Amino acid sequence: MRVLITRPEREAVTLATALSQRGHVPVIAPLFRLEILHPPADFSASLAACQAVLLTSANGARALAEASEQRGRPILSVGDTTAATAEGLGFNAVTSAAGDGAALVELVRQRLDPKAGPLVHVGGVDLALDLGEALSRHGFDVRRFALYDARAESVLPDSARAALQARALDAATFFSPRAASQFAKLVGEAGLADSLRSVTAIGISPAALAPLGKLPFKATVSAARPTRQAVLDEIDRLAEAGVQGQAIMSDAASSPPPPPAPPPVQVRRGLGVFGAFVIGLVTAVIVLAGAVISLPFWPEQVQVLWRGQAVIPPAPTPALDLQSVQAAANAVANAAVETARRDLTARLDDLEKRLRAMSAVAAEKPTGSDPAVAELRSRVEALEGRPAAAPPTGTPAAPPAMPAGEADKEIAVLRAEITTLHTALQALDQSVTGQREQTKALGDALGARNTGEQKALVAARASAVIGVAARLSAALDSGLPFAADLTLLAPLAQGDAKLTEVAAALQPYAQAGVASRAALAASFPAVAKAALADDVADDSFGERLLGKVRGIVSLRRVGDDVPGDSAEAKLARAEAALDAGDLAKAVDLVKSLPPQTARATSAWLARAEAHLAAKRAIDALAAHAVSLLGAVH
């Protein structure tokens, strides 16, 4: 399914990635621009005094991470997406209500005590639910801080306008009543409300669909639960129901007996130059007379073109705001990298300080360089090596012997001193060994932190590549140039051979863009008619004339069930493949046509092959980004 995403830029990229992995085609059209606000002066004091922080959106988690370095405060979030965002930003005590605002109020009432302290609610300028009013009934003191603002767009984004004008959407997603109300306003101002008759509106809740009541949607569907996962499941369910409905219609259409095959047309050749000229002249006169008679009933633009009075100017192509797209993608990558770098740098500085302190202590107290330790060891050795026997003959006379009682006392004192010295030496050795082990542990921890920082940078880089791939895919589907989107890959491709290869493959098509699949399908009938006319005509004058007549007025069979290897059968199957979305199969069938059809099909084939080449490169880019994320985990 082709799904319109109206969420702000950061959430839209994440949702587009999930849709692409499920086989859908996302069209990103943000209705709001996110702006992080500076926290007020009393925010830090309120945060330090609160018992928990309440978050009602993923943007609130990002704004909280920008406003404060604290990550240990308990977090209570409205849903799983908000909780996952907070955990990814380093908050380590996050609990999800897995629902809506009412579920968050119930979670606070069950888990927290009003007497334990106030609560801090971090949100945006516009709120769908006032938690302070809801929780005050239960005795809680809630202090609200607006740390971000979602600024509404003044006009419908170019991607949404182009998709609606081409009627290329199957579904549109809405995650808040404000987004639905803004969409209804901008669609009405653009005059595109009638283009919604084939689109299904999918809301995260019935309240999110309420402002869309006056728009002529094909259907409105509310998710079973107010979560992003439930919205994705609803899109999958609608896609599966659409496939089953096509299968049922196909079975019903195939149940009646097939109509009898038309009799073969016998083509007689050899009319001669005169006969062919007469037939061509009569046919031309009939066609010209019919055109002149029906001229008053033609549209005014066609009448003007017939008379040669003016040339109808081509419809203006909606321009894509490339600067805003580039700025938004840069903000996505820079915010993720800067947040991870700031958190890891603080922790790394702390570890380095502790490592330097332990290294200094270990250097100051080595076992063999302390004078006190050396003196103790020399005294122990002197005492242990003191001679107990009388000196041999010929040596100087020893001093008079001490009384037996005094000698015993001195020996006891010396033994006690030796024991004390041994104990002190063992304690000192153990202290130095412990300090060395702690120094080694700190060094290992420092290496692990460096590895974690590298993983965070790779994850942020992969997320930015996924965002660029989503924008390139949207440009491919709309047939618009994507040179500005491609420049976003330049800083990400440094040192990455695969990204450099993909960027080089897309560069030839970036300035002018490639034809969209819808445009290729729309131009194919005229190409098929011209190719069939060239295939029928031979080199004789009469057959060339008949070929030209068939190029003006011709009948051919269509559908994927036309048998045979004739040019007519292959053109019919190629057109059916285009209608089914299989451009590669259509290109292969057109390439297998006889050589005389090349003049009619070469231009179309060149446009189709350029589209396929760009599509393969963008798919390789998305796959490489996913592999980078997988390598991090």
Query: Which of 114-128, 323-337, 429-443, 451-465: highest mean pLDDT?
Result: 114-128
Query: Which of 111-125, 317-331, 362-376, 519-533: highest mean pLDDT?
Result: 111-125
Integer Cα distance of 533 and 550 in angstroms: 6
The confidence score (pLDDT) of residue 54 equals 94
Where residue 535 falls among pLDDT bands split at 50, 70, 90? low
Between residues 111 and 361, which one has the greater pLDDT? 111
Residue 36 above 70 pLDDT?
yes
The confidence score (pLDDT) of residue 303 equals 64
Residue range 424-478, pLDDT digits in tens:
667 666 766 766 776 677 667 666 666 666 777 777 777 788 888 888 888 888 8
Integer Cα distance of 322 and 465 in angstroms: 17
Give me the percent of the chain exceeding a pLDDT of 70. 64
Query: Is-contact 214 201, C-beta < 8 A?
Result: no
260: how many CB neighbours lie within 10 A of its CB?
6
pTM of this prediction exceeds 0.75: no
Between residues 557 and 319, which one has the greater pLDDT? 557
Residue 250 above 50 pLDDT?
no
CA-closest candidate to residue 424, choices 377, 392, 462: 377
The confidence score (pLDDT) of residue 376 equals 56
318: how many CB neighbours lie within 10 A of its CB?
15
What does each C-alpha distance from 310 to 28, 192, 249, 317, 476 come to in angstroms? 38, 29, 46, 21, 33
Residue range 393-416, pLDDT digits in tens:
454 444 455 555 666 666 676 777
Residue range 480-516, pLDDT digits in tens:
888 888 888 787 777 788 888 888 888 898 888 888 8
Mean pLDDT, the chain, whole residue set: 75
Residue 533 above 80 pLDDT?
no
Give me the percent of the chain exceeding a pLDDT of 90. 16
Residue range 140-196, pLDDT digits in tens:
999 999 988 888 888 888 888 888 888 889 999 998 888 899 899 999 998 998 989
Residue range 569-579, pLDDT digits in tens:
888 888 888 88
The confidence score (pLDDT) of residue 248 equals 42
The confidence score (pLDDT) of residue 388 equals 46
The confidence score (pLDDT) of residue 221 equals 93
The confidence score (pLDDT) of residue 453 equals 65
State the amino acid at position 265 in one-letter form.
V
Both tokens of residue 250?
Answer: 């196909």
Q: Is the dihedral of CA 327, 329, 331, 337 positive or negative?
A: negative
> In the 8-state DSSP scheme, what is residue 597?
G
Phi and psi torsions of 537, nearest 5°: -75, 140
43: how many CB neighbours lie within 10 A of its CB?
18
Integer Cα distance of 457 and 461 in angstroms: 6
The confidence score (pLDDT) of residue 368 equals 46
Does residue 459 sit in helix, strand or coil? Answer: helix
Phi and psi torsions of 221, nearest 5°: -130, 130
> In the 8-state DSSP scheme, what is residue 51?
S
Both tokens of residue 308?
Answer: 């040669």
